[in-house]
């Protein structure tokens, strides 16, 4: 298991991606017990000396807004496939940025995306080491890192 967390780096990475790629401002969600009703979840794995799994969960509103911004189309025109594709790309960008600060050698998998209601993610043999809840004008998103026990 990792001896360190990436809490601040996660926040900075997501802020940078959302600001530069989507023109959206991100801030840490305030208040204990804040929840994120995730309807689209992207997962990517970083293998290497310190393997971790990165899980990005977004609300349907955030999925629609990010798809519209990235694909330059009206929010109402964002299809379910558009939302999944954009969440996959955002997950890949977050994972790639985290990989760059991990010890070498490290390798990034392809992202996996699921969409639906009442979703949950379990990474077998791993525990959550970071859980960062963020807000943007469209709603909430959550980034979690899992590390092997």
CATH code for the domain in which residue 52 is found: 3.40.1550.10
1 within some domain: no
Average pLDDT over residues 69-90: 96
Classify residue 57 by its DSSP letter. Answer: E
pLDDT confidence tier of residue 31, bands split at 50, 70 and 90: low
pLDDT confidence tier of residue 3, bands split at 50, 70 and 90: low
For residue 72, give its domain range: 7-148
Residue for token pair 């050698």: 105
Number of domains in the chain: 1
58 within some domain: yes
Residue for token pair 């305030």: 30
The closest of 82, 87, 81 to 72, measured between CA atoms, is 82
What is the widest separation between alpha-carbon atoms in the chain? 44
Could you report the per-residue pLDDT of 110-135, keeping only the tens digit for each?
999 999 887 778 888 899 999 999 99
% of the chain residues with pLDDT over 90:
76
Residue 149 has pLDDT above 80, yes or no: no
Average pLDDT over residues 63-70: 96
How much is the pTM? Answer: 0.91
Classify residue 77 by its DSSP letter. Answer: G
Residue 2 has pLDDT above 70, yes or no: no
Averaged pLDDT score across all residues of the chain: 90
116 within some domain: yes
2 within some domain: no
Residue 1 has pLDDT above 60, yes or no: no
Lowest mean pLDDT among 8-12, 90-94, 106-110: 8-12
* Distance, CA of 70 to CA of 63 (rounded, Å): 11
109 within some domain: yes
């Amino acid at each position: 298991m990792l001896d360190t967390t990436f809490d601040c780096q996660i926040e900075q990475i997501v802020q940078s991606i959302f600001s530069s790629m989507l023109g959206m401002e991100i801030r840490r969600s305030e208040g204990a017990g804040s929840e994120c009703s995730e309807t689209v979840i992207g997962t990517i794995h970083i293998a290497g000396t310190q393997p971790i799994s990165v899980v990005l969960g977004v609300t349907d509103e955030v999925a629609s807004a990010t798809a519209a911004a990235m694909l330059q189309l009206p929010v109402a025109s964002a299809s379910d496939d558009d939302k999944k594709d954009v969440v996959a790309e955002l997950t890949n960008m977050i994972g790639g940025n985290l990989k760059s600060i991990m010890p070498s050698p490290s390798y990034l998998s392809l992202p996996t995306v699921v969409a639906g209601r009442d979703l949950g993610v379990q990474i077998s043999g791993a525990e959550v080491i970071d859980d960062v809840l963020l807000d943007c004008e469209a709603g909430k998103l959550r980034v979690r890192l899992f590390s092997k026990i």
